[in-house]
Structure 1
Amino acid sequence: MNDPDFFKHGQDLVKDGWVGDAGAWVTDDSNRVLLIQHSESVDQWGTPGGGHEPEESMEETALREVREETGIDCSITNVFWARRKTVVLKDDPDQRYYMLTVQFEAGYEGGEISISDDEILEARWFSESPDNVADFLEEKVRTWNSTIDP
């Protein structure tokens, strides 16, 4: 449920070809994972990612967002999480649109961490799980933790 202005903005995006957002769980050859802290969730670590552009595939969105938010180039290897969300107008529940969020697995291709996005507070490679990750990443982190050599 959203306020009318937020809903209208989303409707306009959908009409222009927007479908949602995408991000990537990027690992390097040492099995470290690249995570970010976003200004909207300062107490959690998450994957780099963001809004889809109408001319892009979801894979292209994830690649662009990782590069923009962290300076890291990567290549997509798989999908590990996807969710379709229904956005409903608060005052008229019959009005709705849908968005898709896709999280990909990706391999590191090059680059050094550099943050040029004001919304990103920090980006870092982790060889061990951080204390607090976004809810949707909890299962991914458990799986990743099981692959880390003690």
Structure 2
Amino acid sequence: MSLTEETRRAVNERVSRLREEYQGFSLSGDTVELPRAEYEHARERARANRIGSASACVFDGNRLLLVRTRETGDLWGVPGTMTDDDETLETAAVRAVDEAADVRCSVRDLRRVRRRQVVPADGDDRALHTLWTLFDAYHESGDPSADGDTVTDAKWWSAPPDAVHPSVQSRVESWATATETASR
């Protein structure tokens, strides 16, 4: 079986499991072209069964945990990471929050899933299939602190910051609207 077929099968299996366990999440898909070096790096990850990534919006009452990373600069986002080996997406999301912000949480719902087909920009037709998930989670313990390596800032927000990463913009906006409505 080719790596294209293997990654497609693995993504389909994960989406099927998520459909069985969660209701009402949005599912979208896209294709992205990567420069050859980045594409080869993605192939290496796929060979190691690292085709899924998971992020978590962690809530503590009306507060939302957001982080800034070296990669995102001034934009605030949510902790996320690639899955390790056969790690579930939920476990990866919880691990990402702990590693990025020193906060423990538990997943409560799945908000969004994006299937992505990755192809090299030079026209080679060997596609890879990946999966990105965004979970909602409850805060269990810990006060946010940046890991100092990748994460440059981590804190609770009671209202959205001005600069939010596009990947979580709609989720932050829906949280802010719900928080506003609840406080009236």
TM-score range, shorter chain: over 0.9
Q: Hey, what's the Cα distance between the residues in 1 that align with 2:50 and 2:178?
A: 36
- Structure 1 residues 80-138: Cα deviation after superposition (integer angstroms, max 9, x where no partner): 11111111012234111011110100000001222225111100100011111111322
1:124: which partner in 2? 155
1:36-86 deviation digits (Å, cap 9, x = unpaired): 011111121100111211120000100001000000000000011111111
Q: Report the number of matched residues.
A: 149
**Residue of structure 1 aligned with 2:47, choices 15, 24, 27:** 15
Higher-helix-fraction structure? 2
- Comparing 82-91 with 102-111, which one deviates more in the overlay? 82-91
More strand by share: 1
Aligned to 1:57: 88
**Maintained 8 Å contact 2:53/2:89:** yes
AA in 1 matched with 2:34: N
Q: Does 1:103 align with 2:143?
A: no
Of stretches 39-48 and 69-78 in structure 1, the one that deviates more from structure 2 is: 39-48
Q: SS in structure 1 opposite 2:73?
A: strand
Question: What TM-score does the superposition give when structure 2 sets the normalisation length?
Answer: 0.76
CA contact (8 A) 1:68 1:117 kept: no
Unaligned runs of 5+ in 1: none
Task: Determine what percentage of the aligned residue pairs are the same residue.
Answer: 30
For residues 9-57 of structure 1, the C-alpha deviation after alignment (integer angstroms, 9 at most, x for no partner) is 211211211113111000003x100000111111211001112111200
Secondary structure in 1 matching 2:161: coil
Q: Provide TM-score, normalisation by structure 1.
A: 0.92
Runs of 4+ displaced beyond 4 Å = none
Q: 1:25 is matched with which residue: 50, 57, 64?
A: 57
